[in-house]
Structure 1
Amino acid sequence: MLDKNMKYLAVAGTVLILVLLGGGYYFMQQKAPPTPITGLRCDSAYFNFVVGKPEVIVSASGVDSAETTSVSCAFSFEDPEGTASASTAQAQLEDVPGGKGFKCHDKDKVFPKGSTKFSVAVTDNRGESSSCASTVYIP
């Protein structure tokens, strides 16, 4: 009699452990909804060399709220001699969790040797603005 009760207890314990493990796995898989992006933010300014050419592509990326329909980027440059220049570009928008992401590029820039500082001022269609900066070093 005791042997039979032990078997039932072992089976019930095994089932309980499997239910707890399965429930834990199920609840661990559920993710919290993304936090909504509430405003324009320029996250990074960066550059890439064009292979085989003396040109550089300067870029900026960031995020904005889901209501945004356009983002414009104003690039400003200061070369090692102190000469200033500027250009503008329209950003490419893409959906990201909680809002919109943007990337804008200014292509085919030729910089003199040395460190050229550049900053990017971004503005969206709602009038919000943000900025970020970086330095391009040409050896």
Structure 2
Amino acid sequence: MLEITDTQKIGVGLAGFGMTFLFLGVLLLFDKGLLAIGNILFISGLTCVIGIQRTFFFFFQRHKLKASVAFFSGITIVLLGWPMIGMIAEMYGFLLLFRGFLPSAINFLRMVPVLGSLLNLPIIRGIVDRIAGNNGRNMDDDP
């Protein structure tokens, strides 16, 4: 079994708090203070979980450069006081950075009892399928 270090446990907590602050910042009409704290906590949590060197290599790979520039530009714009524009840039960069991970995450979330029911509602399902890259196919459609 994989051994999880204390630093990785702290990183998961920091990333979780970061996502919570980001969610609250968006929920409270793009509060720039909450969004800034959420961004800082998320990046520091990610760094603690995978390490400084792997974080650097993740963000600065040649094929992910456009996504990283959009993501970090969004963080900078939020810190400068333009939260809505910054979050749009961040979301664009986030979707490009984690494009390969999103289908797995969405399929996992579809197995969660209440959340899975919400993700399978007709309007939401089309959006989630487009994000996940399912192209209208479902696991139930396979012969």
| Pairwise same-fold verdict (TM > 0.5) | no
- Which has the higher Rg, Structure 1 or Structure 2? 1
When normalised by structure 2's length, the TM-score is 0.19
Q: Which has the higher contact order (CA 8 A, sep 6+)?
A: 1
Higher helix share: 2
**Structure with more strand by fraction:** 1
